Amino acid sequence: MSAQYVLASASPRRIQLLTQLGLTFIAVPADVDETARPKERPQSLVRRLAATKAITVSGHYPDDVIIGSDTVVAQGCQIYGKPRDEAHARHILRQLSGKRHQVYTAVAVYCAQQGRGYVDVVVAHVTFRSLAALEIADYVQSGEPMDKAGGYAIQGQAGKWVTSFEGNLQTVIGLPTDQVKHLIERIGSGGATS
């Protein structure tokens, strides 16, 4: 396939993970409203947003293969996206303190020229130890949580809070490359599953 790859994101973490796959690509952020719809479940939200990002960017790159992704943190049906501000980040982290939560990441691969696209959703389960108010405040003050779903970076300072983990670490970071590779293969093979 001679098409170029376009990552519908400016996330440094997603760029780094996609680079590890050895793909040549450009990163073009998708400007989409990430607000959850009433009663929308986490899995449905990330699926919709990843697909919307890929389709939006494909409007400018119709001949190319677009890779969209979205990540949210959830406890049951309570969805935590990126914090709006520091107070919101502290609130989210208090909710996650001492509890198990889920991280949902969707990957969408779409090519307008082929009229085909595929979406996978992957989930990981993370449990934090109980967090003291001061360590939450210090963490938020560091600025690290401000552009992260659920207000934390597992690959950063928050990694020390994790007491149990199930799943693929890349799901929590924001781009599970096994899914990217699988969906790119599906686009390249005309949709046949391997």
Q: For residue range 26-75, what is the model confidence (pLDDT) as tens digits?
A: 999 999 999 999 999 999 999 999 999 999 999 999 999 999 999 999 99
| Any domain includes 45 | yes
| Identity of residue 8 | A
Up-side HSE of residue 138: CA atoms within 13 Å toward CB?
7
Q: How far apart are CA 69 and CA 71, in angstroms?
A: 7
According to the model, what pLDDT value does residue 1 have? 40
Least Cα distance to 107 among 156, 154, 170 occurs for 170
Q: How far apart are CA 194 and CA 130, in angstroms?
A: 43
| Any domain includes 170 | yes
- State how many domains the chain has: 1
According to the model, what pLDDT value does residue 2 have? 47
Residues annotated as catalytic are 70
Q: Which domain holds residue 12?
A: 5-188
| Any domain includes 193 | no
Find the distance separating the first CA and the last CA of the chain, reported in whole Å. Answer: 18
| Any domain includes 62 | yes
Instruction: Provide mean pLDDT across the span 187-191.
Output: 72
Q: Mind listing the pLDDT tens digit for each residue in 91-145?
A: 999 999 999 999 999 999 999 999 999 999 999 999 999 999 999 999 999 999 9
Q: Which residues contact 12 (CB under 8 A, 6 or more apart)?
A: none
| Any domain includes 42 | yes
Whether the predicted model's global pTM rises above the 0.85 cut: yes
25-27 and 65-75: which strand pairing? unpaired
**CATH number of the structural domain spanning residue 20:** 3.90.950.10
